[in-house]
Structure 1
């Protein structure tokens, strides 16, 4: 979008917040870059330049506006919508891949040489992988400086900086302020959350509005597995398996943000934990684009208008979601929770949760590679499917991560015994974030379609759904919201109904 000067210029003139995160505006006369919605008076067109990312603007010598804080806006929804190599790289960088595995590891993940990858990113984004990762660290640092009371040494460590000096130099270069000055300015703009227990990091996750969180949080709450997830005192809580240790996150929705509390074994995991929480809640979605597209369909218009801003209930770990989808084939949500809880208790690593009832993290595929079938109280065919899925993930025949290719992942899934279109589409939708995934054989989707007078037969519904592309995953979420079911209740008011999801193989 940043290459369309006229469209970007109109967005800046109208101060349209919908485009925050899509691009940044740099001003030649001041050396500052801003959000499209920055409240200051727009400069003359000849003095403006548009960049796709904050990293590109920083690489060109611009610093962040002190008023609109463009480096702290929600992430670009472009990286969630697109499935190409650049978008896959951006999702992996947001998850901390460069900090953990270096540029070589990032390139290997997307199937390019390091030199090829650097050339591609430089050509499209105006920044190389290291600059993009540096901007990611700076963004994390700014959020922690402004919204927490963490000592600056802990902020630097948590954001991924190698030293306090590097942290100070980067903050000054990006923000034109020292960390102390940045925190002092923030104290006049932010209302701190109530005090938390020692060791708890409290922050706010920004959200694009409209934000219809009931279906999102309701779905995650209704499927919460014992020991792994819970709803407590109005917070959705779950354990996290992270690169350097474990964590516990508590999330509470607000109209324009999500309150987040984190307890981590290792501060180095903070950026990854934040990225995974945003992914779990689909916070970088573009709700206005979805509303515009789906609201134009006369059959969906009333449903969309009733609750605009739907998000997809996603996951913190793609492999975990895939395994849970298979465990939930042809059983009720209650039974699926039970299956997952047994698996977590038998194979997940125990954790300490002083503030709730979480007991384990979800096991990784290596821990499940020698799974005992007795822990899977289900038909033999489904046990074989679980085993085949785990082995495919272990030996690399199936790749599910933030940077995987959605089409290739579907093909790899469908090649496994017992995984059909329903499972593959739900995994693509909730695990991988494909905005056009569409589980047409899902019983809830078909019931909702029938209630709205739409085709409910699978083939006819797939054909009809073509008008919703590329937002069929969000159409699915809107259809689910029409059902009288616990997945639409937040706070969770009763146990999930005994609705069985139907897999068509």
Structure 2
């Protein structure tokens, strides 16, 4: 969104939570920056400036409001919508790439020199890559300080700081108090609340309303691979491969309005930040549902679906390599058949989750890595088995990378260059792995049948033309069409 001063100020005066995460309000007279919905009385218009990111506010010398916690809001939906360097960089920074590979590693992934990338991000976002990573690091540190019993020195290194002094200085600069005070304030706020399970970290993952948890749960339940993931009631559980080790998570999508409650068991606290970023992408928690529903609801054919189920989300991916393997397994077969094939691979070649990371009766297997599957003979059609081996070999060698910083068009082209990977699989992975909001997937049989059920064209070319009015939210339209196809008794479609 463009940061028009009058528009932003009206949002702040109305305390409109729809804009939380899309910009921050920096108050010159207090030196504090807030989310738009901060409960304090709005400052005078002449005393504020509006900045795109918390990092930009911190770079300008502002500190975060400890009342509204402007870093504890959904992220900007702009980063999924934008395929440019700034959007891709923000997704990679959230995934912890700067902490693991430094700014040169981030720049290399995006195809720029460090100097070029710095200029682009400063011009677009008001802060360079180091400042953006510092803001992310401070946010992770606050989570660990407030929600874990880790010693503060351990928190410092887990959050990615090079020294305890750097950690203390950053927390003071960003929040205006030392880490010990953040911890004591959090203890007072949480007094009386039930403690989380031993060894687990309980996190609140905020999202914008409206939110359709049941559609996500139905999607995940239909595809849940035994041993790797499960759905019970309003909770989705799964194992995770994170940059520094394995983990498990339970995501309660219905327990708390405005947020998903995540109970994370990680083998390494350095993985908290990347885990949060991946779980947010998995559940599309940074979406702007009002913007999506406004466009789709304006179409008479889709309007009843949008009205009946507002806030539809795209099912994403917590493990891109696993999602790619399961996508190939799902080519030209039913959801149930794809799930059975994935379950066989997991049972035969998966890695047991360490006992200390398991929840009672929860998933206990890590899905097999590509390097393992590249050597496996998969039962089924020869062409699919060959496509799977080629995909896994490309992932294992690094020839193909599946990370949130990829350009959707470039990823589609690389996938389609692999034997046995067609337009449907490439488009589907762009949605699942990158959160691409504008992929209609008209080659999908279930999408076309859903369109026909609504009186829309079932022909691929005609549906493509009809769907242009749904841009830039055609992936969400496809989700509605998939659901509309469920009532058709012959609908099977492709699956992953």
TM over 0.5: yes
The reply to whether residue 250 of structure 1 matches residue 227 of structure 2 is no
CA distance, structure 2, for counterparts of residue 339 and residue 270 of structure 1: 31
The reply to whether residue 327 of structure 1 matches residue 329 of structure 2 is yes
Aligned to 1:458: 460
CA-CA distance at 1:239 after TM superposition: 0.7
Match of 1:500 among 488, 492, 496: 492
* Structure 1 residues 74 and 192, CA gap change in structure 2 (3 angstroms): farther
Aligned to 2:302: 300
Q: What CA deviation, in whole Å up to 9, does each residue of 1:186-216 have, x standing for no partner?
A: 4555577633332111121111111111111
- In the TM superposition, 1:94-113 aligns within 5 A as 94-113=94-113
Structure 2 unaligned regions, length at least 5: none
1:348–1:360 contact (8 Å) kept in structure 2? yes
CA-CA distance at 1:98 after TM superposition: 0.3
2:438–2:475 contact (8 Å) kept in structure 1? yes
Structure 1 unaligned regions, length at least 5: 486-496
- In the TM superposition, 1:281-292 aligns within 5 A as 281-292=283-294
- In the TM superposition, 1:69-218 aligns within 5 A as 69-148=69-148, 150-187=150-187, 189=189, 194-218=194-218
Aligned to 2:6: 6
Aligned to 1:471: 473
CA distance, structure 1, for counterparts of residue 139 and residue 413 of structure 2: 36
Aligned to 2:349: 347
* Structure 1 residues 463 and 2, CA gap change in structure 2 (3 angstroms): closer
Match of 2:364 among 359, 362, 366: 359
SS at structure 1 position matched to 2:299: coil
Match of 1:429 among 403, 428, 431: 431
* Structure 1 residues 450 and 291, CA gap change in structure 2 (3 angstroms): same
CA-CA distance at 1:484 after TM superposition: 4.1
Moved more, 101-110 or 265-274: 265-274
Moved more, 131-140 or 160-169: 160-169
Q: What CA deviation, in whole Å up to 9, does each residue of 1:242-275 have, x standing for no partner?
A: 1111000110113311111111111111111111
* Structure 1 residues 241 and 6, CA gap change in structure 2 (3 angstroms): same
CA distance, structure 2, for counterparts of residue 499 and residue 236 of structure 1: 26
Moved more, 388-397 or 22-31: 388-397
The reply to whether residue 52 of structure 1 matches residue 63 of structure 2 is no
SS at structure 1 position matched to 2:380: coil
CA-CA distance at 1:40 after TM superposition: 2.0
Aligned to 2:63: 63
CA distance, structure 2, for counterparts of residue 469 and residue 65 of structure 1: 36
Q: CA RMSD in A?
A: 2.2
The reply to whether residue 383 of structure 1 matches residue 385 of structure 2 is yes
Aligned to 2:484: 482
CA-CA distance at 1:319 after TM superposition: 2.2
CA distance, structure 1, for counterparts of residue 134 and residue 122 of structure 2: 15
Aligned to 1:401: 403
CA distance, structure 2, for counterparts of residue 180 and residue 314 of structure 1: 36
SS at structure 2 position matched to 1:70: coil
Q: What CA deviation, in whole Å up to 9, does each residue of 1:82-131 have, x standing for no partner?
A: 10011101100000000001111101100011111111111211211111
TM-score, with normalisation over the residues of structure 1? 0.92
CA distance, structure 2, for counterparts of residue 256 and residue 226 of structure 1: 29
CA-CA distance at 1:502 after TM superposition: 4.1
CA distance, structure 2, for counterparts of residue 383 and residue 367 of structure 1: 14
Q: What CA deviation, in whole Å up to 9, does each residue of 1:333-388 have, x standing for no partner?
A: 1211111122223333221325224232123323333x221xx1110011111122
CA-CA distance at 1:233 after TM superposition: 6.1
1:327–1:339 contact (8 Å) kept in structure 2? yes
CA distance, structure 1, for counterparts of residue 490 and residue 247 of structure 2: 31
CA-CA distance at 1:172 after TM superposition: 1.6
TM-score, with normalisation over the residues of structure 2? 0.93
1:88–1:402 contact (8 Å) kept in structure 2? yes
Q: Runs (4+) of structure 1 moved beyond 4 Å? A: 147-151, 187-193
CA distance, structure 2, for counterparts of residue 450 and residue 233 of structure 1: 32
Aligned to 1:488: none
* Structure 1 residues 380 and 191, CA gap change in structure 2 (3 angstroms): farther
SS at structure 2 position matched to 1:205: strand
